[in-house]
């Protein structure tokens, strides 16, 4: 499992520019510790869903979100998915926050990028597996996107039994712990998936965001 350095640098603000040599040196120095501390784990499960205008019905639970409904409008099933880098990364980042803030910041960015690429890899494998059955997967959609409330973290984690299977739970205020973790719903459809709703171009902050990807990468 490797960190995508380019993505990590983008999180640090170097989206269009070359990083300075020191930042790059810190990044290279941090990577072994991070890759050693990270224990990527995920779990998932498929469910039939019923999509209506403002909500979806899944495993007997109703999830109210217009954005999610639009995203899943052609789907009959979905995958509930969650993943984490584990608590070792949290401890590492916290230790660095006491001794070396620049490295701590860089570690944050590297961990975020590591998680994203690990999840992307899993998703690619799933996409191929489902393609064999003539099915397409939508992009993942997580609590916190649009009007899909963070309070659904609890619901998703409960259905997946995530605390037991991968050690992922959430706090009273619906924060995932360990911190570098993801939960998501991935729609399954037998028609073309809805337009990409993950890229920068579809985001409401796309005019002002500091972390926006350069236009060329943003095409996908």
CA 1 to chain CA centroid, nearest Å: 16
In the complex, what is the shortest distance from the CB of residue 150 to another protein, in angstroms, rounded to a whole number?
5
Q: Using the rule CB under 8 A, which residue among 4, 5, 45, 55 binds another protein?
A: 45
Nearest alpha-carbon partner for 210 in 15, 40, 3: 15
Q: What is the DSSP string of 143-209?
A: TTSTT--GGGHHHHHHHHTHHHHH--EE-TT--EESSSEEEEEEEEESSPPPPP-SSGGGSTTTTT-
173 binding another protein? (CB under 8 A): yes
Contact 163, 136 (CB under 8 A): no
In the complex, what is the shortest distance from the CB of residue 88 to another protein, in angstroms, rounded to a whole number?
4
Q: Using the rule CB under 8 A, which residue among 151, 190, 195, 196 binds another protein?
A: 151
In the complex, what is the shortest distance from the CB of residue 196 to another protein, in angstroms, rounded to a whole number?
22
Q: Using the rule CB under 8 A, which residue among 32, 60, 191, 204 binds another protein?
A: 60
20 binding another protein? (CB under 8 A): yes
91 binding another protein? (CB under 8 A): yes
Q: Using the rule CB under 8 A, which residue among 10, 23, 83, 183 binds another protein?
A: 23
Q: Which residues are 63's β-sheet partners?
A: 56
Structure-token pair, residue 22: 């020191």
Q: Report the distance separating Cα 24 and Cα 124, nearest Å.
A: 29
In the complex, what is the shortest distance from the CB of residue 32 to another protein, in angstroms, rounded to a whole number?
14
44 binding another protein? (CB under 8 A): yes
């Amino acid at each position: 499992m490797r960190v995508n350095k380019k993505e990590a640098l983008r999180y640090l603000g170097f989206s269009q520019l070359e990083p300075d040599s020191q930042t790059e040196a810190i990044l290279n120095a941090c990577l072994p510790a991070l890759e050693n501390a990270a224990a990527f784990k995920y779990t998932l499960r498929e469910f039939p869903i019923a999509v209506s205008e403002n909500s979806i019905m899944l495993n007997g639970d109703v999830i109210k979100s217009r954005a999610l409904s639009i995203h899943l409008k052609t789907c009959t099933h979905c995958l509930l998915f969650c993943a984490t880098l584990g608590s070792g990364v949290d401890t590492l980042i916290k230790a660095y926050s006491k001794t070396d803030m620049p490295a701590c910041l860089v570690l944050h960015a590297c961990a975020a990028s590591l998680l994203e690429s690990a999840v992307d890899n899993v998703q690619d494998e799933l996409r191929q597996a489902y393609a064999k059955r003539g099915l397409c997967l939508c992009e993942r959609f997580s609590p916190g996107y649009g009007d899909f409330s963070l309070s659904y973290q609890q619901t998703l984690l409960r259905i997946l039994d995530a605390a037991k299977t991968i050690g992922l739970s959430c706090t009273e205020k619906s924060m995932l712990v360990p911190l570098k973790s993801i939960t998501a719903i991935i729609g399954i459809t037998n028609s073309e998936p809805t337009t990409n709703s993950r890229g920068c171009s579809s985001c409401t902050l796309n005019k002002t965001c500091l972390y926006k990807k350069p236009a060329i990468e943003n095409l996908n």
